Chains A and B, each alone.
Chain A
Amino acid sequence: MSYARMKFYCDDKRCINCDGCSIACAEANELPVGISRRKVVTLNDGVEGKEFSTSIACMHCTDAPCEQVCPVDVFYIREDGIVLHDKVGCIGCGYCLYACPFGAPQFPTDGAFGTRGVMDKCTMCAGGPEPTNSDKERELYGQNRIAEGKVPVCAAMCATKALLVGDGESVSEIYTKRVASRGHGVQSVPYGWSTAYGR
């Protein structure tokens, strides 16, 4: 029996750079101004035929580098593959940001002197180590939609359904169908994934 591993995938043939996912995320999780757990980025801006946009957040890596480098060991990987961290233990050192290939870790300012606070990142709307759906969990990590059986808010809001989320195999199945119906533009792995991981 194989276990499901939760994965995000952004279909750059469908993404229209509307920023809906990142705004939905920021609103649903009440993020402070300047913190983007999810970002929409356009590459080759204005180059005909080459321009594309993609939405990026924490990719919930199987071998999460952030989890490996953390000096205080606050990261944990759930059985379904979602990478989460404990904000109470986090010291905001920034090492996870250096280790992350995707620039996912965010650092809100904290307190009167504008010092860097503890790390904040995409939780795949699965909260954190606090009791599920408790006030503290909501305050620290945002919504826990996974516990309610809902899709993460970014993918739920995606108007063109470019942003897919779910267990890796289902995502791949949907994507395979799309590619087959399009008849061109096969991209076996997400942009940059193979180079980043040498696979």
Chain B
Amino acid sequence: MKKTVLFILMTLGAYAREIGGQVPLVQMDLSASKGGDLLVSSQMIQNILHYQNWGGLFLNLQVHWFRLLFAIILIGVIVVFAIHYLIIGKKVFNENCPSVLVYPLFQRIIHWIAALSFVLIIPTGLIMMFGKYFGGGEFVRISRYIHSIGTVVFIIAFIPLFYIWVREMIISFKIDTKWVFILGGYLKKKHIKVPAGKFNFGQKTWFWMAILGGFVMIVSGAAMYFQDFNIPILYKLKLDQIDLLRIMAVVHNFVGMAILALFITHLYMSLFAIKGSLKSMLTGYKSVHELKYLNSSYYKKLLTKGFISEDKVEDD
């Protein structure tokens, strides 16, 4: 306890001096020599022999694949949705009928904190990946800092996000397999009653990607951010620290691709595919007409519970 307090005081002192312009004579950070000397040790030389295991993999992927795959996903997903918009177009529902509070205030706040974090993290991640086209330097470096700050914002939203929606996001084979077979009804212009509870399978996929994928991203990102650390489990796994960093970079990129694809999908759905979708996340209300078609199981549940009455909603 005493040690912790002393450490905090020393750290604060060091920052205060730096911010105040008074540079301490000796920099306190002995990163190369603290915590077991992992990056400067015999491990460093021995790892040269195992370079092909993970170093070779990272090298190959970063040189030939990561940038290419990110570009394919970024352009491909956008093109697919652009075509969808041209052929199928916006789904428009009657907004003059009664509406139901679907997203209470707390859920909306958490959603928008998470949304802010994604808006900070995803573009800056792409800027880093395609850094050479931005000329590198200050702009890309600041993007890297924003990428880390966005992560802190995401961590704030992470647990509440999980908590508010986990019950409704549990995948139901009965309803969700049907949704997959008709692809959520998005391939037809006509309104059809789509099998979905409060959230459809697409939203559920996005939720679990944000939660599970997000967790993986936090862990792998943190490993790369802190870089020089000492965790005893590495000895047990017989994994060199540098190899852990390489694995984390590979994982971070692949999960990042999946998140990017679903993030663009989410943006398209909320901004373009369904009229009033963005508004519903701002006000919390969704029209009963929309629920009847896009969330038919949820609609039935509301009917049986008596929250809404059938006669007020016109059929198509």
Point out the residues of chain B lying under 8 angstroms from A44, CB to CB: 42
> In the complex, are the beta carbons of B132 and A72 less than 8 A apart?
yes
Q: Known: A45-B42, A65-B59, A101-B51. Contact between A109 and B29, CB under 8 A?
A: yes
B45's closest neighbor in chain A, by CB? A41
Distance in angstroms from A139 CB to nearest chain B CB is: 16
A24 on the B face (CB < 8 A): no
Min CB distance A43 to B, Å, is 5
A88 to B33, CA, bound (A): 27
Do residues A101 and B48 form an inter-chain contact, with CB atoms below 8 A? yes
Residue of B nearest to A117 (CB): B141
* CB of B30 closer than 8 Å to a CB of A: yes
Q: Is residue A90 within 8 Å, beta carbon to beta carbon, of the partner chain?
A: yes
Chain-B contact segment, one of A27-35, A141-149, A160-168: A27-35
In the assembled complex, A155 has its CB within 8 A of some CB on chain B: no
Cβ of A196 within 8 Å of any chain B Cβ, yes or no, is yes
B128–A91 touching, CB < 8 Å: yes
Q: Which of B26, B48, B49 has the most CB of A within 10 A?
A: B48
Indicate the size class of the contact surface on chain B. Answer: 35 or more
Closest Cβ of chain A to B260, distance in Å, is: 16
Contact status B45-A34, CB under 8 Å: no
CB distance from A91 to the nearest CB of B (A): 4
Query: How many angstroms from the CA of A72 to the CA of B242 in the assembled complex?
Result: 21
Q: How far is the CA of A3 from the CA of B240 in the complex (A)?
A: 37
Contact (A103, B44) CB under 8 Å given A91-B141, A94-B224: yes
| Cβ of A34 to closest chain B Cβ, rounded Å | 4
- Report if B135 contacts A (CB, 8 A): yes
* Contact partners of A73 in chain B: CB under 8 A: 132, 136
User: Which A residues touch B45, using CB under 8 A?
Assistant: 41, 43, 54, 56, 191-192
- Cα A93 to Cα B40 in complex, Å, equals 20
Contact among A89, A102, A115 with B145 in the assembled complex (CB-CB below 8 Å) = A115
- Mark each residue of chain B from 1 to 44: 1 if its CB lies under 8 Å from any CB of chain A, else 0: 00000000000000100110000001101111100000111101
Indicate if the CB atoms of B59 and A71 lie closer than 8 Å. no
On chain A, the residues within 8 Å of B50 by CB distance are 195
B59 in complex: contacting residue of A45, A69, A102, A109, CB < 8 Å:
A69
A98 contact set on B, CB distance < 8 A: 55, 58, 62, 242, 245-246, 249
A98 to chain B, nearest CB (A): 5
Cα separation A118 to B148 with both chains bound (whole Å): 16
Q: Contact at A35–B32, with CB atoms within 8 Å?
A: yes
Interface residues of B in 177-229 (CB under 8 A from A): 224-225, 227
Minimal beta-carbon separation of A185 from chain B (angstroms): 18
Nearest CB of chain B from residue A29's CB, rounded to whole Å:
15
5 contacts between A and B (CB under 8 A): A56-B44, A94-B224, A109-B27, A192-B51, A196-B55
Chain A to chain B: the 3 pairs with minimum beta-carbon distance, closest first: A72-B136, A192-B48, A89-B136
